Amino acid sequence: MLNNREAGNEIKITCKLEVEEGSGRLLFVSASKEPEELLVNTGECIETLELPAGGNYIYFEGKDLTGKLELKSE
């Protein structure tokens, strides 16, 4: 089930992760779905995500991490 949001029910995510040490991952977390890994450790991604009803989050998790994350949402 989707909400009828004024700005629409999709979001475009562009991200780049550079891990020098440790580990990191970027996830899309939704109240109505299992968490979806968008990016693990070093790499780039462009994703268009459908936003179901309820809470929706972009979540970053790092362990002993040294590095850089760039994230753009439209």
Rounded distance, CA 35 to CA 31, Å? Answer: 9
Q: What is the pLDDT at residue 31?
A: 84
Residue 28 has pLDDT above 80, yes or no: yes
Question: Residue 3 — pLDDT band, cuts 50, 70, 90?
Answer: low
Q: Which residues contact 73 (CB under 8 A, 6 or more apart)?
A: 11, 12, 13, 14, 58
Question: Residue 49 — pLDDT band, cuts 50, 70, 90?
Answer: very high
Instruction: Indicate the domain borders of the chain.
Output: 17-65
